[in-house]
Amino acid sequence: MPMTQTLPPKLAELPRVPLAHLPTPLELLANLSRHIGAGRLLVKRDDLTGLAMGGNKIRQLEFYLGDALAHKADTLLITGAVQSNFVRSAIAAGNRFGMRSHVQLEQRVDRNDHLYASSGNVFLDRLLGATIHHYSEGEDEAGADRQLESIAAGLSEQGRTPYVIHLAPGHAPLGALGYVLAAEELLDQVDPSAPDIDEVVVGSGSGHTHAGLLFGLRWLGCTVPVTGVCVRRRADEQRERILARTQEIGRLLEVPNPVAPNDIVLTDENLAPGYGRLNDATREAIGLAAQHEALLLDPVYTGKVMATALARAAETDGSILFVHTGGTPALFAYQQELAE
Ligand SMILES: Cc1ncc(COP(=O)(O)O)c(C=O)c1O
Q: Following DSSP, what letter does each residue of 55-83 receive, concatenated?
A: -THHHHHHHHHHHHHHTT--EEEEEEETT
CATH number of 57-165: 3.40.50.1100
The domain made up of 10-55+172-339 has a fold known as: Rossmann fold (3.40.50)
pTM for the full predicted model: 0.97
* Fold match flag (10-55+172-339 vs 57-165): yes
pLDDT, tens digit, 9 for 90 and up, residues 134-170: 999 888 889 999 999 999 999 999 999 999 999 888 8
- Cα 325 to ligand 1 centre (Å): 7
pLDDT, tens digit, 9 for 90 and up, residues 11-31: 999 999 999 999 999 999 999
Q: Which residues contact 87 (CB under 8 A, 6 or more apart)?
A: 78, 79, 80, 103, 105, 121, 125, 130
Mean pLDDT of the chain: 95
Residue 304's nearest CA partner among 209, 204, 214 is 204
- Rounded mean pLDDT, 308-332: 95
The confidence score (pLDDT) of residue 1 equals 60
- Cα 324 to ligand 1 centre (Å): 10
pLDDT, tens digit, 9 for 90 and up, residues 41-59: 999 999 999 999 999 999 9
Over 70: is that where the pLDDT of 326 sits?
A: yes
- Of ligand 1's listed atoms, the one at least distance from the Cα of 210 is 11
Ligand 1 contact via 47 beta carbon (within 6 Å): no
Within 13 Å, how many C-alpha atoms sit on residue 113's CB side? 10
The confidence score (pLDDT) of residue 138 equals 80
How would residue 211 be classed by pLDDT, with cut points 50, 70 and 90? Answer: very high
Ligand 1 contact via 8 beta carbon (within 6 Å): no
- Of ligand 1's listed atoms, the one at least distance from the Cα of 202 is 4
Over 80: is that where the pLDDT of 94 sits?
A: yes
- Domain positions in the chain are 10-55+172-339, 57-165
How would residue 2 be classed by pLDDT, with cut points 50, 70 and 90? Answer: low
The confidence score (pLDDT) of residue 4 equals 62
Over 90: is that where the pLDDT of 253 sits?
A: yes
